[in-house]
Amino acid sequence: MVDGTEITDHAGNALTINALRYRLGVEKMSKSKGNVVAPDELVAKYGSDTVRGYLMFAFRWEQGGPWDSQGIQGVVRWLNDVWSLVLDEPKVIGEANDADVRALRRKVHQTIQRVSEGIEGFTFNTSVAGLMELKNTMLQAKKTAVVNSPAWREAIETMLLLMSPFTPHITEELWTRIGCGYSVHSQAWPVYDAEIAKEEEITLVVQVNGKVRARLQAPADISDEAAKQLATSNAEVSKFFNGNQPKQVIYVKGRGIVNIVV
């Protein structure tokens, strides 16, 4: 609503402020205004995979959005990092510990789920965001001895397979360079394993009378009673009881929240 007037779309539906900003942003680019960016020029400058990745990542696929010369730089960095991640030789020696291997494999399988769901739901931006997160995790993992384990090779191959629908050319090149079989695009899609993807720990958000007072680490399979006990016995939380016993303690398991009413 602007100056008391409700703004609607062509179907008469009221627009939220965010939706209005989005539409105004899209409408900044049009042939009549002479500000359309030619895709051929972008491909010549950045490469087709970068432009394709940007179009998948920058906004919801079915809605489109305005060109952002700064936004594409994130995709440029992503692909440059992936290139180095795959081809640069790791320099860490030693044997990987079990915790690092589990953490890497967990992130890989969480990404399989996220990318697969994004493709099925045409929310390609969430798929690419998941791939970027996996890349960041692997950049950190590359500094550890996990690079000397089979889990590292598995992570590299899975990452390329998941990227292939979005950036087909760079993934095909990297797939070949690391000695895999013919064409990344003829391989089976990675299989998600919920057991591997399961978190070992969660963060309990503890609220006292509606205000967040602590964030506590706990086993992912913690019971209701154990979660309540952990929250109420924490010194940083109990100091807000003012010497009183809690009237009510509720554990919202699906959200990892403990609500305490004093």
What's the pLDDT tens digit per position in 203-255?
999 999 999 999 999 888 889 999 999 999 999 999 999 888 999 999 998 78
User: What pLDDT sits at residue 30?
Assistant: 52
Q: Which residues of the chain have pLDDT under 70?
A: 1-38, 61-67, 69
What residue ranges of the chain are covered by domains with CATH 1.10.730.10?
71-197
Angle 48-57/71-87 helices, nearest 10 degrees? 120
Return d(Cα 262, Cα 143) in angstroms, integer: 47
Q: Residue 62 has which token pair? A: 């079915």
Q: What is the pLDDT of residue 5?
A: 47
Question: Residue 218 carries which side chain, given as an amino acid letter?
Answer: A
Q: Which CATH architecture has domain 71-197?
A: Orthogonal Bundle (1.10)
pTM of the model: 0.71
Q: What is the pLDDT of residues 184-204, one digit of tens each?
A: 999 999 999 999 998 888 899
Residue intervals of the chain classified under CATH 3.10.20.590 are: 201-261
Closest listed residue to residue 78, CA positions, set 155, 136, 33: 136
Q: What is the pLDDT of residue 32?
A: 54
Dihedral sign (CA 22, 24, 28, 32): positive
pLDDT value of residue 257: 93
- Tell me the three-class secondary structure of 78-107, residue by residue: HHHHHHHHHHCCCCCCCCCCHHHHHHHHHH
Q: What number of other Cβ atoms are within 10 A of residue 65's Cβ? A: 16
- Which pLDDT score is estimated for 3? 47
Give, in degrees to the nearest 5, the angle at Cα 29 between 164 and 41: 50
Q: Strand 257-261 and strand 248-252: pairing? A: antiparallel
**Buried/exposed 101-131: b ≥16 CB within 10 Å, e otherwise:** bebbbbbbbbbbebbbebbeeebbbbbbebb
What architecture is domain 201-261?
Roll (3.10)
